[in-house]
A and B are shown apart, each in its own frame.
Chain A
Amino acid sequence: MQVKLIHLFPDLLNLSGDRGNITVLKKRCRLRGISLEVVPLTLEDSISLADADMIYLGNGSEKDYPRIVTKLKEAEAELLAFRERGGVLLAVGNSYPMLGTSFPITTEEHPGIGLMDIKTLPSDTRLTGNASVNTPFGVLVGFENHTGITHLGASVTPLGTMLSGFGNNGSDRTEGAIYKNIFGTYLTGPLLPNNPELSDLLLEKAIRQKANHFEGLSPLPSDMENLAKGYLLNYDHRTHKR
């Protein structure tokens, strides 16, 4: 089995140990005899998604997003085709609001790449800290650090419901967004090392979209992950203590 992952702009989108997410996907594939080909692309490369199964967009500095959006807009048709055929995309941190119709760059509204119906507004408060989210595929943990306030349109499902932390907007207790196989979340940490359920869900979806009869991934032990996750689940946000 072969899976191809396009890692977009790792030279810019690397604020939150993002290469950790790639490392996790690689190792979880390797342990199951699946070969994961990772193709890093820079702003200078042309974006070809013809045989791509997955795309990863890491967390970046606000100042770089105008250039990134311009570049992705050039590949708009390819990205939409990728989404429609069930390609899997994960965007974390500041790259998540960029997936929507509009998002703020240093308080100014900027058009997004329109892969899902979400809209993000600027705010004065930084929503930051450890967070945990209840989702249909398990409890996810991570670290959030954003000023954007995101609201989801009717066609989009939230990733889950906050157990602790702020989430999309600090008010409706939702976190992240899913539309088809496009996943966006404010959670970094990095996200995947502590959340093997999500890593495996993404990998399964990436394989299924090209191999219908795929019987599913073989399980891997997750004791270490559960212990690490336990720390954040028992974390007291007021005292910074467990």
Chain B
Amino acid sequence: MKRLRLSLSILICKTLILIGKLLGKKGSSAPGKFALKICPDAMRLLSQNVSYEIICVLGTNGKTTTNNMIASLLERNKTRVICNRVGANMLDGVATAFISSTNLFGTKKADYAVLEIDEASAKLVFDHITPDIIVVTNLFRDQMDRYGEIEQTLAQLKLAIDKAPGALLCLNADDPMSSYFTKATNNRTVTFGVSEQVAKLLSETPEGRNCPLCSQPLTYAFYHYNQLGDYACSHCDFIRPQPDYYAEEIVCEPKISFRLNGKQLIETDIFGFYNIYNMLAAISVYELLEPNTQNYTELFGSYTPQTARMESFSFQKPVVLNLAKNPAGFNQAISTILSDPRKKAVVIGINDMPSDGCDISWLYDVDFEALTDCTAYGAAGKRCHDMALRLYYADVCDTPQVNADPVPLALQFLETDCQVVYVLVNYTLIFSAKDSLQKAEKAFQKSQKHKKKGETSCK
């Protein structure tokens, strides 16, 4: 009977996925929702088909990147991996991922499951599946009106981890909010971190600068951004753990290279300091499964970033699209832009849909003040006027160009005296922005071809 219900739920879920695809839908949580209604055990039953580890990636920023890095490392060995690659990371989305990778009878085997899980949903998801490895990338302030304060996020995650007492935790040693779980749980842990002071970054959002155990201020030997760094509590014995996997000799100009554990030099085509953490997280998981891997340069060489993480589109000059959805993400994106020596124009797009967070006060925690000397400034999204005002008060531009849609602004800015246009947008703007940039890119390429043809026929 159970198997019958499972098959029925799989059939319906797969049909819905197909219909969704035909309608061009990007999200994938609704099919999983129906499946769980029909067969509440579906995920538990399907997770039994995973032969080796179930790996769950949690954290504020870098979840999708880390998750997909782990999956792509594993997939190179021809292993079969269940992965919610598009980032549908609440209960229903995880269910969809399991069902879309099984057969109609729910019997198809997989080697690993690699799943990114929303921090607030983890305690629900872990009622359905029991992870073997839990990665916590970092815990920053995000979408305050949904998660409440960061203390509540910690409490929620604690509830989740308590449901998986046998899981190994891979924690960010540099983040006191993540490494808190070395103290707050009895789980086995491994940690990763950046073990040297890197070039001075932007000023910080100080949330999370207090000890998660005793609330007294943390003191820092050095820090990288937000609360990430080498910290110790001024009051109790809480201190940054010595990381098991650590990066030194860091270069990001803007491509990243670093030395792992004093041995292997890893050179990548990946941009942005924050990606060192995502790579270290992926390495700390991969080393558990494939110890002493020597060729990370080659392994990361085949990793392609997912949608709109510093994704470049080709026009007469490049347009670079990036997702940023909270102060930590924005500050990192701004650092990356500033490390680019080219002349640039910027468009910032802010929506306030429920999945973005309706409270946009965090715009004032972002260091837009640092974004000086651009050839043009654009403000977009549903909150374009708030964003324009933010740029005005940041003293970088008195009259930003305003348009609800970021793409026309970006295309218009190609005409200014810049060499690259950066478009930073938050979550619900990202897919539409990518679509219209791709369309515009195709149209541009076509017009170039015609132009060339025209030129040759004239000769």
Contacts and interface: CB of A to CB of B under 8 A. Distances in A.
Contacts of A24: 393
Chain B interface residue number, banded: 20 to 34
A224 B402 CA distance: 10
Given A17-B365, A20-B364, A128-B145, A143 B359 contact: yes
Contact of A194 (B144, B209, B386): B386
Contacts of B358: 129-130, 143, 240
Interface in B383-415: 383, 385-386, 388-390, 392-395, 402
A62 B150 CA distance: 11
A112 interface: no
B389 A193 contact: yes
A41 to B, nearest CB: 15
Nearest to A229: B385
Contact of B364 (A62, A130, A145, A193): A193
A225 B389 contact: yes
Contacts of A194: 386, 389
B457 interface: no
Contact of A190 (B364, B383, B388): B364
A224 B385 contact: yes
Given A194-B386, A231-B383, A189 B393 contact: no
A131 to B, nearest CB: 11
Given A61-B151, A63-B215, A240-B358, A20 B386 contact: no
B363 interface: yes
B22 to A, nearest CB: 26
A42 to B, nearest CB: 9
Nearest to A23: B393
B335 to A, nearest CB: 19
Interface stretch (A8-16, A71-79, A132-140): A8-16
B148 to A, nearest CB: 8
B209 A145 contact: no
A32 interface: no
A64 B394 CA distance: 29
B382 A242 contact: yes
B206 interface: yes
Interface string A92-135: 00000000000000000000000000000000000011100000
A129 B362 CA distance: 15
Given A11-B206, A17-B362, A17-B365, 14 more contacts: A19-B364, A20-B390, A23-B394, A61-B151, A143-B358, A145-B144, A189-B360, A189-B361, A194-B389, A225-B389, A227-B388, A228-B386, A228-B389, A240-B352
9 contacts: A11-B206, A17-B364, A19-B365, A20-B361, A61-B149, A143-B145, A190-B361, A231-B385, A240-B354
